[in-house]
Amino acid sequence: MRKYFFRLKTIFLLVFVLTNVSSAGLVWSTEKFVTGFSDLPLMPGMQELPDANISFDTASGRIVEAFAKTEQNIEKILFFYNNVLPQFGWRVENDTTFVRDSEKLTLDFRKDKVSVIVQFSLEPQ
Global confidence as pTM: 0.73
Could you tell me where the beta strands, DSSP code E, fall in 6-70?
47-48, 54-58, 61-70
Question: 63 is in which domain, residue-wise?
Answer: 32-124
99 and 79 share one domain = yes
75 and 97 share one domain = yes
* Measured distance CA(51)–CA(47) in Å, rounded: 12
* Measured distance CA(105)–CA(83) in Å, rounded: 15
> What does the pLDDT profile of the chain (125 residues) look like in tens digits?
666 556 756 665 556 555 554 444 444 444 699 999 988 999 999 999 988 889 888 888 999 999 999 999 999 999 999 999 999 999 999 999 999 999 999 999 999 889 999 999 999 98
Element housing 13 (H / E): helix 2-30
